[in-house]
Amino acid sequence: MDTRHAAVKVSGILTLPAETVLYVLAHLDYRSLLRCGQCCQRLLQLSKDDGLWKRLCRSNFLVERCTNDQGWRTTFEDYFREYGMYISCYKDIKKRPGIRLKLILYRRVAQKSVLKSLNGPASEGVLESAERKIGHRLPLDLRCSLRIHNGQGTFHRNACFMNTGDVGHTPVKSEFLVDAMTLAVKYKDSGELRGCAPITYCGFSNFNAGQMIAVTEEGGHTIGEVFFPVLRREGFTQVDQFIAGQTFRNWLTGLAQALAEDRYIWQDDMLTMFYREPSCVAITNEMFRVEVATCFLPEMSCVIPPHFTFMYHITMSMSESAPPQCSCQLETRHWIITDEEGNEERVDGPGVVGMFPVMKPGSVYSWISYTAFSTTYGNMKGHFTMKNLRTGEEVNIECPCYHMKCLPYKMSEERAIKRKERKKKL
C-alpha cells in the first residue's frame, strides 16, 4: 500500500470527533482493533474504549457481565487466554446449545435435570491427556464443546439427553454425551472404525456407542464427520455409516436449532428425538386433532440389505369445547403406506397398539409404533374409525400424511477406496 495514501486516510479519520471514530472502530474485529491502536497515540487511546471491548466480549464469548475489575478489555484478555484458540467456533458452540437449550429446558421444573446433568468444563490438561492417549488432535469444535461441557454426568431418568421413546414401556434407545477421557478410552485404533471415537453413549448399539466422530482419515473417514455406525446383516464385518452431521459444530448447532424451534417432543419429562413438522396436523370436524412426529432408528436399520426403520409418535386430542354427546371410542385404524417407488400397502386393524382409547372433551391420547421400508423414504396416511358412545354412529378421524426419510449414508466400500488412495499418497 502507498504509505502516503495510508497517511492521508489515517489523517482524515483523526479529524473526526471521538464519538464518530468510536462508531467506526465498533465495526472492527479484535485483531483489526489492536492493529488500529498501533497507528498513532490518539487511535491507541480510542481503541482502549471500554464500550468497544464490551461489544467484543459479547460477540465473541457471549459475556454479559464484566468479570475483571480493570474493565472490559482485561475481561476480553482473560477469556482470550482461556478460549482464544476456539474463537472461530466458541459462539456457535456456546450460544446455541447453551442459551437456546436453557430456554427450552427451563419451561418445566422436571426438565431442569437434563441441563443439570451436563458436566462442567474440561481443562486443557484433560483434553491434552485424552489426545495423548489416542495419539491425535481432536477436532477444534469438539474440543471447544468439551471445554464448555465435558459430557454428561451419571445416568438418571430425567438426565436423558436423547431418547426415542418407549414401546411397551421398554426404552428403545437413550444417548448421553461422553466426557473427554471416555472418548479417549473408547477410541478405535483398528478395524472398520479405525480413527473414530464416540461422542454419545448408547447401550442399545452393537458398538456400545451411539454416535461417533472421525478424528483421523486412517479408516477412510472424513475428519470431523458425525455418524451412526451400523453393521451389515450379511457378513457382520463391514460397517456402514448414517451421517448425522458434516462436522461436530454442524451436528450440535442443528440439534440446538431444532430444540429452539420446539421441533422435538417430550415424553415422561424426557427429551425425545421424535421430530415434528408444524404442518403435520389434521383436524376433523373442528373437534379432533391428530399430530405426528417421527424418528429414524439407525441402530435398527441397515444399508445392505436395504432396511430402514422408523418410529412414529401420534397424539390424538379432542377439543375441550366439544359437546359431551360427541364422546367416542376408537375402534379401528386404516393406513396407506407408500414407499419411495410408489408401492402402496393398505393396513386395517383393530385399535392402536392393542388399545381402544375413549375420547371425551379435553382428552389427549398418545402412542408410539414403528414401521420399516426397503427404500430410504416412505410415508403413511390414513384415518381412525371412532364409535359414538351414545348413538353408536361411526366417524372417521383423519391422520395427516407423515414423511419418513433416513439419514444420508456412506458404505464401507467408499471408505475402502479412500484408504487405498491415502496409502498411495503416503
Label residue 58 left, alpha or beta by phi (over 0 means left) and psi (-120 to 50 means alpha): alpha
pLDDT at 91 over 90: no
Mean pLDDT lowest among 151-160, 203-212, 417-426 = 151-160
Classify 351 as helix, strand or coil: coil
Asked if 353 and 368 count as a contact pair (C-beta separation under 8 A), the reply is yes
Alpha helices in 349-411 (DSSP H): none
**Residues 217-252 pLDDT 10s:** 999 999 999 999 988 876 667 899 999 999 999 998
Quickly state the pLDDT bin for 420 (edges 50, 70, 90): confident
Give me the amino acid identity at 114. V
R_g of the chain, CA atoms, integer Å: 27
Quickly state the pLDDT bin for 208 (edges 50, 70, 90): low
pTM of the prediction?
0.82
pLDDT at 298 over 50: yes
The span from the CA of 374 to the CA of 391, in Å, is 43
Domains of the chain: 3-85 (1.20.1280.50), 92-254 (3.40.1580.10), 276-406 (2.60.40.1470)
If one counts every other C-beta atom within 10 angstroms of the C-beta of residue 387, the result is: 16
The larger pLDDT score, comparing residue 64 to residue 271, is at 64
Classify 117 as helix, strand or coil: coil
The three cell numbers of residue 335 are 393406513
If one counts every other C-beta atom within 10 angstroms of the C-beta of residue 186, the result is: 18
Average per-residue pLDDT in the chain? 85
